[in-house]
Amino acid sequence: MKRSVYDKVREDLRKKMVFLTGPRQIGKTYLSKDLQREFKGPVYLNNDDVTDIKIIRKRSWPLNAGLVILDEIHKMKGWKSFLKGTFDTKGIDQSILVTGSARLETFRQTGDSLAGRYFLHRLHPLSVKELSGMMPPYEAVSTLNRLGGFPEPFLCASEEQADRWRRQYYTDLVREDIMDFSRIGEIRAIRLLLEMLRKRVGTPLSYAGLSRDLQLAPNTVRKYVDILESLHIIFTLRPFHKNIARSLLKEPKAYFFDSGYVDADEGVRLENTVACCLLKHVQYLQDAKGEDISLHYIRTKEGKEVDFALAGKGTLTHFLEVKLSDEAASRNLRYFKQRYPEVNAVQLVHNARNEQQFDDISIVRAGDWLARLKA
């Protein structure tokens, strides 16, 4: 399967280094090896392989390699300085692709030695748009809700096999990746937090409430949420506010990159699947097009809320409400549309029999609308 970022990554490799990041087992290695056929004499080197480590340290790969793929390079001490030296001394016809887990994106925030030398591309789970050539949009949404969008459990098309994959996947994440961020004594608390978040998808997170449940300080809970987000287990959305500082102080909502891991009913899983598709769309436009676009939710002090809000250049463009079957326009969506008439208001209904307009609110089939996104 050709991933949605393939063409843009190939194009960017002709100009600068490319950093390809994303969750474990999301397809980064598969995509990087797929790109090898576009270059002469490509070389794939994995920093987890003993033999490859020696080649990487000495930079002893062939000088005429058209593409050098460095996987998990962020595990090497001084990796940023290493890449800076590698890029600055490479041959003019040599491209460099750096792949790694979410930690690569986290670590890039420290220091600035690589500024101007790379493009970042974030690889996401499969989406309705990406699956549009394989199955009808309605079926794609239903399958993503059931199996999640990680390639292995999705393509096996078996809930039993998906459950087996998921059990091993999260066991390994806790045992290996989370240990890199925290002490052994904190693992139990992080596991408990993860279980709580599985049941609170799509609801504003109260750090005070979570801290009481976990018997931890609120700042410690924030730290643990940051760890889960850095590892691309969850992502958080902030409420829209023109004042960014005030937005950051508001309670975020958490969603999982893996909809199959959400411990809730079908309606909540649907909201999580839509969140994944929207985030992929937004980050593709940021990474590939440089667009100033962002994803939020919107909520009043009185508790009136719409699931998602898209903004471009700091201005609201879309209100999006997600429903499993309800084709009557949401009361909250009507409320916000009346106050922001210039913003597109769309209700995404998975089981919609008909698409219709209701007082400038579009009631549409969720799958059909998501299939028209950019990624």
What are the structural domain ranges in the chain?
Answer: 6-122, 137-370
Superfamily of the domain at 6-122: P-loop containing nucleotide triphosphate hydrolases (3.40.50.300)
Confidence (pLDDT) at 245:
53
Confidence (pLDDT) at 105:
55
Confidence (pLDDT) at 182:
63
The whole model's pTM is what?
A: 0.94
Confidence (pLDDT) at 304:
94
Confidence (pLDDT) at 83:
94
Per-residue pLDDT tens, the chain, 375 aa: give them.
Answer: 889 999 999 999 999 999 999 999 999 999 999 999 999 999 999 999 999 999 999 999 999 999 999 998 988 888 989 999 999 999 889 999 999 875 565 555 555 578 899 999 999 999 999 999 899 999 999 999 999 999 999 999 899 999 999 999 998 887 777 776 667 778 889 999 999 999 999 999 999 999 999 999 999 999 999 989 988 999 999 999 876 555 445 899 999 999 999 999 999 999 999 999 999 999 999 999 999 999 999 999 899 999 999 999 999 999 999 999 988 999 999 999 999 999 999 999 999 998 999 889 999 999 999 999 999
Confidence (pLDDT) at 314:
93
Closest alpha carbon to 326 in 362, 350, 298: 350
